[in-house]
Amino acid sequence: MNTRLIAARVLARVLQDGQSLTTALDSPAFIYDSPKDKAFVQAISFGVCRQYHRLDFILSQLLDKPLKDSEVKALVLVGLYQLSFMRVKPHAAVSETVSALAKKKSWAKGLLNALLRRYLREQDTLEAQANQDAVAAVSHPDWLMQRIEHDWADHAAHILHENNQQPPMVLRLNLARTERDSYLQRLADLGITGTAVAFCPSAIVLEKPVAVDLLPDFADGWVSVQDTAAQLAAGLLDVQAGQRVLDLCAAPGGKTAHIFEAQPQLKELVAVDVEASRMQRVTDNCQRLKLSPTLIVGDAADPASWWNGELFERILVDAPCSALGVIRRHPDIKLLRRPEDIAVLQCLQRDILNAAWSMLAAGGVLLYATCSVLKQENEQQIDDFLAAHPDAAELPIHADWGIATTHGRQVLTGMESMDGFYYARLVKNAVH
């Protein structure tokens, strides 16, 4: 199948059906002739999602009336993305995109050809017009721009810019098995350039992404792929030997594994996630890393259905959130997330926090984490929680990363090359 057509059908599933980009790309309906073809489809699909609002604005300038056929519209966007952002020769981009149209849609070939060729003729004017349009210029939906500008007025331009960049590939070393300097040298011997992160002992940022099977001892669990911001959780949780630890909303298991790698002498590490399919990913990751946490499929907000009543000394609440801090890794978030989602997520976060608190031992520490940059899900959530729980106190986070907020610490997307992330530490005190 033509790679442009596959990309268009992937995008139609996102734009029309509301599928996540990852789910659409992984569909068995799409068969690739080679790994190179699959990589090309992924590059176009991610790129169109990243630049959708800009490309859609340009398309609106080229059309007299909107295109009703979602697949044809997606193909035009595929063509525009190639012409504007990829190193594809213009004549090849046009001819290959036009020829991708299925026979039953041959009616659209002339239209598609005309639109792409007109873009080439008027490219400078159209791009200038896009730069003057508030939404198109930054390629974000208006509601999201407003939320980010409201919360982070001084940083909004930086966040919006970083959301549209390709993120780095970051490695998490199992420091129980290898030292960072020696692993960096092993990478260098293979021609892979990496940089150590000063404030995160396990993290290496690669200059260029590589296939995981090229990483030394990946199959044996010496190294995993995880953004630096997510790697900070294990250190902030400060687990000690002999403790019972709970990881709520644990899938895909990166933080679960890192906690166990950092402290293998735990009494028990329990990881909970509500979806069995997502828990399978935790199982797979832990098997590769040769780790054996207790895995439970259950609702974090309803511990009565799975908890045995034994308290935990440490709890990580990796809360369900808008994921607006990881847009650069999942650009379809800009297309699928809706403003009304935030209040719903905020209620769920509150319910999970309350449930987790009931399972925390006196003197125990709860770490609240999201991959969001919205204050409503982060410091405001913690402010509300502290007001409602007299036995809760905040433990300050002193760090060389992120921004100290009213409660907790916020990493904004792109800071020290990290994803957007939030952390707050709470300790449970006895009430007199």
Q: Report the candidate in 82, 106, 109 with the shortest Cα–Cα distance to residue 93.
A: 82
The one-character DSSP state at 302 is -
* Cα 253–chain centre separation: 14
218 CB-contact burial (10 Å; exposed 0-12 / middle 13-18 / buried 19+): middle
**Tokens 């059908």 -> residue:** 9
Rounded Cα distance, 76 and 90, in Å: 14
Q: Which residues are catalytic?
A: 371
Rounded Cα distance, 305 and 307, in Å: 6
Counted residue by residue, the chain has a size of 432
109-121 helix and 123-132 helix, angle to the nearest 10 degrees: 80
**Tokens 């999970």 -> residue:** 352
How do 244-248 and 312-318 pair as beta strands?
A: parallel
b or e along 175-209 (b: 16 or more beta carbons within 10 Å of the residue's beta carbon)? eeeeebeebbebbeeeebebeebeebebbbbbeee
- In the β-sheet with 194-196, what is the strand arrangement from edge to edge? 194-196, 203-206, 170-173, 223-225
Q: Report the candidate in 260, 265, 179, 269 with the shortest Cα–Cα distance to residue 217.
A: 179
